[in-house]
Each structure stands twice: as C-alpha cells, then as structure tokens.
Amino acid sequence: MQINKQNLETILKSRFGLETFREGQLEAIHILMEKNRLLCIQPTGHGKSLLYQIPSILLDGVTLVISPLLALMRDQISQLTNRFNICAASINSDQSENENNKAKIITKAGKIKILFVAPEQLDDIDRFDFLLALPVSLVVIDEAHCISTWGHDFRPSYRQIIKLIQSLENKNPSIKVLGLTATANRKTEEDIKLQLSTNMPVLIQRSNMDRPNIRLSVIETSGLAHKLFNLERLINELPGDGLIYCSTRENTELVADYCRKQNLKSAAYHAGLASEEKVKLQNEFIQGKYKIIAATNALGMGIDKSNLRFIIHFDVPGSITAYYQEVGRCGRDGLPANGILLYNERDKIVQEYFINSSQPSKKDFTQILEIISSEAKPANLATIKRLSGLHPTRVMVVTAELLEQGFIHKTKLNNSQVYLITQKKPKLDLTRYNNQYRVKTNELEAMLNYGEQKNICRMLILRTTLGDELAEPCGRCDVCIQQPNTTKTNTTQITTISNWLTKQIVSIKSVRTNNIAEGMTILDGKLRSQLFAQFMKHRTRNDSEKYLGLDEELWNSIKTHLSTLKKKHRFGILIPIPSRTWVHSKQVAAAIAKELNIPVLLDFLFWQELPQSRQGELLNNDQRHFNVDKKMGFDRKQSKPKGAILLLDDYIGSGATISEAARVLRKNANLEQEIIPFTIAAVKWKLGQSGMV
C-alpha cells in the first residue's frame, strides 16, 4: 500500500474508529515509514501506541514491541485483538510457561502481527534466539529512556535491545526502529539517539509536554495516620475513579485495607500478586468495580483507563520524571483531572534504599567474578544470589554489566542458563553507574524540592525538567491559583487511625507452590508498635510472663482474629513449626488449639538437620530459602491429621520456613487438606545485609 495521508486516514477510520490524527501522529508515522528510525518524545495519554499499530498493518512480518509494562501488554492485546482485528500476543513473566510457549508457536507460524516482549526476556538465550529467527520488520522500544544511564530509570536488560537490533540488522538492514518515551530530558534524548543510530541516523520528534486538563497540588503530611486522614477526605471529595500510587507493596495493602474499612470500593495491586489475580483486578478496575486501586507502578504505568479522574501519590516517587509519567495516567480522555502528592520528607528513606540497592560497587563486581570463576559447576543466577548475599537487583545489574563488558558469557547447561568466566583482563569501566548514581540522587532531590516549594508553578517544574523549552506557568495548579489543597486536621480522627494502624493485621498471601492458603499475622513489624516490641523481646525469654510471653492485649487480639479465621475454615488440627528461639512455642500452640477446640500435634514437624544460621543473620532471601531447604522432617509414628491445618509460627519474614513446613506436609506426609499459616508477627528482612527493615 502506498504511504500517503489519505491511506493512513482511511486505516485510522476503518480499523481504529478515529476521525482524525492527534497533533504529530501523522508526521511521526510518515517519518518512521520513510526514514526507518524515530525517537518520539510525547506526553502520557498522547496516543503513542498508534505510531506502531498502524505501521504493523502496513508492514510485512512481525512488529516486536519491547515494554516493561506488563499491565499495558494485557490491555493492548485485548484491544488489538477484539477491537482492531490485529492479532497480538506476548511473552512475559506474568504468563505461565505454557502460555509463553503458545505465543511462540503462533508467532512462528505467522499468525501474529504484534508481539509484546518484556525486556528481561532478552536475557534468556533461548528467547533471544527465538526473536532473532522471526521476520521482524519493526522494533518498538517502549519506555526508551530505560536504555540511557542518564535516564531516571535505567535498566541493564535494555542493553540487550541494542544487541538484538544489531543482530536483526544483519538479516534486514532496513529494519525499522521506533523509540517511545514521555520522560527524556535533552541529555537522555541524545544518549538514546546515539545508541539507536546503529546503522542509520535517528530522527527526533518532541512534543509539548503540557497536560492542560490536569491540576497539580501538594498536601504536606506528618506521618502515616495523617496521610490516611487526607487520603480518605480526597477520595470522598473527588469525582470518578482514581489510582493511589504507593512505593511499596506493603503500603498498597495498607491503603486498600483502610479504604475498605471506610466503605470505599478498593483493592491493592502489585507485582507480588498471582498473574490471574492481576488480570482479574485490572479488568474489574477498567469495568468500574472499584473506586480506587492502590498500586505500585506494576499496574499504574500500564493501565489503559482513559477516564481516571485523579492520581494520588501516597508516597513520594523517586524522580520528577517518574512523577510526570505516573500522574499523567489520569485525564487521558481530555476531561478535568487531579494529580495530588501527599508529601512527607521522610519518604525519601525508601527511595534512597531503592537507589542504593541497585548501585553496585567495585567490590560487588569482584565478588561475583570470583563466584563464577571458582564454582566447580557453572553457576546460574540463583547460585550467584545465594553465594554473594547481595541484593537481588544488584546481582542482576552486575551480571548484565559483566556480560556487556565481556568478562563473562552465558550458555545453557541442563536447561539452566549459567555463567562462565572469559579470559578478558582489562579494567572494569563503572562510569555509567557513577553517572546513574548522580542522576538518581539529583532526581530525588528535585522531587523533594517539588514537594516543598510553594512559589513556582508545578506543571512548569515538570515540563522544564523534561526539556520542554516552551514551558510556562499553567495557571491552574495550587501554586498558580494560590489555593493550597489543605483541610483542618481532626485530632480525634488522627488518633483513631493511629489506633487502627497499631492493630492492623497482615495477610499472608496464598502460595501456589505446595498449595498454601491465605493466612494471617497479627503484628506488623514495620509499624514498630509497642505490642510488637514486647512480643519480640519476650518470645526468647523463659520467664514467668503471664499469657506465655504474650501481652494480655495481644492475646485478646489473637483470640479475636482466630474467631475470624474459624468462620472461613473448618480447622481440624494445629501444627506448630519447630523453633530454636521461641521458648513459648508449644505452650502458645496448646493455648490456641484450646481456643479453637481442636487437637495439636506439638512435635509433628521437627528439624532433622538444623539450619546453619538463623534467618535474620542471612543477607538475602535466596540464602534464607537455601538455609532451611530440605532440612525439616515429620514424625511418621503419629497418625495423619484430619481437617484444615493451622500452621503456627512466631513470625514470618521471607516465608521460607513456612514454605519448607508446607513442603514436608504435602510431599513427605502426603497431606491434601488446607494449610493456613498463622503467625504472631511479620517482619521484613533487609536484602543485601542482615537484620530486619
């Protein structure tokens, strides 16, 4: 088909049901089709996906879209297949191996026009070779700023994209490449342009970054209870549906629980949920079942819900560019919307942790090189994580860098991807990580300044940070109109919320492996309540504390929540997990069993081989799982229990000990009934160092 305005407009109307292109879309498609290389920098909600959807119809072969936004993949595939009659599929970690294999088969058979792939998939040798064998005519790099170490969200796996493009060029020198991003300043833009100019120049199209229908504002908060107080007020005042962005999975659960308590239809969404649950929540939110979803950017950056009326950031994000991208998810239908930041300067602690977790040192590189070179058997990624004790993110960063600089290479051995040392001896170049550390710390500082300042237009700050040289005051944010988004604090309500927080239970998520049902823990260690401190102190003391080391208030709380569990499950037996440090373990187990009026098997589980270390002494969860793996046994002399099992432990951290207990009950004891974990407390272990957060 000839590429001209009339033909493109015909496709737009007949296939997509749209009357006209948005500003810059027609020009961008022409550039891509005629010049083969384009980096398009446009605001969120501007319709960037159309820039590859129409070319996919015009081009032979497959359009390969590389994107980290798994939620967006689901939305896009549904719309492309059901609304636009464009066959699409995806390969990503949210899908089962069978689903990914099916996608590969139908793509290889020529039945797919658009294939979405998460960038991490390119790290796998077999997946990389599969993509290389496809008749790819267009490579689309979504979130292209992730390629650049000058970008706020550099991802090592994105480096594999350049390698893939170069390999595809060897087959098809005229292959087209489209980079898409909403968040690239001038320095990032130049870096992306340089990297994508593999065999031909890259043209740039940069749009005005204003979002004229979004009103920005900031509310200063003084703690978690104060945040929840303001959040409840805002949700009740604001029309329509919205997203609540949180920095951690735990905060998404906390926010959703609180909102449900206030009779607000809400749910939590984060990367830790099962794939089926993510799909269900996403569809239900789009269909209007929930007023709000509390989410990490696992959902927020990929949700295709054009009528979101507000975005509230419960936690301060790590950068201005991330904030612009996230707040831009609201008002994509062009109608008025609100972007509100609940600002607390202490939120920077979480973001600083994220920065440091991914920042490798020269020592980290040396350690991982030594592990790879000294192991008798070639090491896979899990082995490297376990032996190094480093934060998992840092292990991924270091191995990706060592691969790119040629110090190691990867191969397949017995269906496992392993890493081998090369003979390369030159000095490591860590320049990009020094750059990245400066970029991230500067970006965080700029985000904190955004939250604190009261004199400069908020949209102006976002636009100028993103390199929009035409930015001017918006005339609608809280600074421009001099109307702070505040309300008088209700001390009584704040106290009520604080009390609720101290008594908030934590759900123990169900686990498909060994079929562990959803369970419950009473004390959230992150809140550092007095009850938590007392329990952790007395659990190791063999003294005469009343209620077996449990405060009376805590014991009453345990009984209350046990009655809730009892309504959901028909318990037949209580089995405690063996503990070396919880001196009251058996007595508490007996007391809980008596409360539930069920028998207890005190010594049914035991350590047939004591773990070498205590879990809190270890450095990451790979070490913690290895520490207890295959170490537990069961008493074969005792009769097999009947009825649902309440599996008791003092606290849960990584979940490794509960998983090992469930493995024994399922695989060794051959028990098929429900297993419901119940712990007194929940802690969050540090990663890359010992101790709890």
CATH number of residue 525's parent domain = 3.40.50
- Domain for residue 691, yes or no? no
Q: In whole angstroms, what is the distance from residue 692 CA to residue 338 CA? A: 37
DSSP one-letter code for 428 = P
- Domain for residue 432, yes or no? no
Q: What is the tally of structural domains in the chain?
A: 4
pTM passes above 0.85: yes
510 and 466 share one domain: no
Out of 498, 525, 543, a domain closes at 498
Q: How far is the CA of 237 from the CAs of 22, 182, 477, in angstroms?
A: 32, 30, 17
CATH number of the domain bearing residue 27: 3.40.50.300
| Residue carrying structure tokens 């008088």 | 488
Sheet holding 176-181, edge to edge: 88-91, 114-117, 62-66, 136-141, 176-181, 37-41, 203-206
Report whether 41 contacts 203 (CB < 8 A). Answer: no
In 3D space, the residue among 30, 27, 8 whose CA is nearest the CA of residue 18 turns out to be 8
Q: Which amino acid is at 502?
A: T
178 and 104 share one domain: yes
pLDDT value, residue 301:
52
Q: DSSP assignment of 48-105, as one string?
A: TTHHHHHHHHHSSSEEEEE-S-HHHHHHHHHHHHHTS---EEEE-TTS-HHHHHHHHH
Out of 206, 238, 260, a domain closes at 206
Out of 452, 471, 498, a domain closes at 498
Report whether 179 contacts 196 (CB < 8 A). Answer: yes
16 and 126 share one domain: yes
pLDDT along the chain (693 residues), means of 10: 79 90 92 94 84 94 89 80 91 87 95 93 92 96 83 70 93 94 86 88 91 96 94 95 94 94 94 82 89 83 78 96 90 94 95 89 94 93 95 90 91 93 83 86 95 95 90 96 81 92 85 93 88 89 66 90 92 96 93 95 96 94 96 92 95 96 96 96 91 85
480 and 514 share one domain: no
- Domain for residue 262, yes or no? yes
Q: What is the token pair recorded at 507?
A: 């759900």
- Domain for residue 687, yes or no? no
Ranges of H-type helices in 91-185: 97-108, 125-133, 159-171
Question: What range defines the domain where residue 534 resides?
Answer: 503-682
Burial of 19 (0-12, 13-18, 19+ CB in 10 A): exposed
DSSP one-letter code for 667 = I
In 3D space, the residue among 47, 83, 69, 81 whose CA is nearest the CA of residue 141 turns out to be 69
- Domain for residue 692, yes or no? no
Q: DSSP assignment of 559-579, as one string?
A: HHHHHHHHHH--EEEEEEPP-
Q: In whole angstroms, what is the distance from residue 190 CA to residue 171 CA? A: 27
374 and 456 share one domain: no
522 and 469 share one domain: no
200 and 223 share one domain: no
517 and 621 share one domain: yes
405 and 280 share one domain: no
Name the region of 199 (left: φ>0; alpha: ψ -120 to 50; beta: rest): alpha
Burial of 639 (0-12, 13-18, 19+ CB in 10 A): exposed
CATH number of the domain bearing residue 370: 1.10.10.10
Report whether 256 contacts 268 (CB < 8 A). Answer: yes
Question: 3-class SS at 493?
Answer: helix
- Domain for residue 638, yes or no? yes
- Domain for residue 433, yes or no? no
651 and 546 share one domain: yes
Per-residue pLDDT reduced to its tens digit, 12-54: 998 898 889 988 899 999 999 999 999 999 887 778 889 999 9
pLDDT value, residue 639:
86
562 and 664 share one domain: yes
Burial of 135 (0-12, 13-18, 19+ CB in 10 A): middle
pLDDT value, residue 303:
65
Question: 3-class SS at 186?
Answer: helix
Ranges of H-type helices in 342-480: 348-357, 362-374, 381-388, 392-404, 431-452, 458-465
- Domain for residue 689, yes or no? no
Per-residue pLDDT reduced to its tens digit, 64-76: 999 887 767 877 8
312 and 285 share one domain: yes
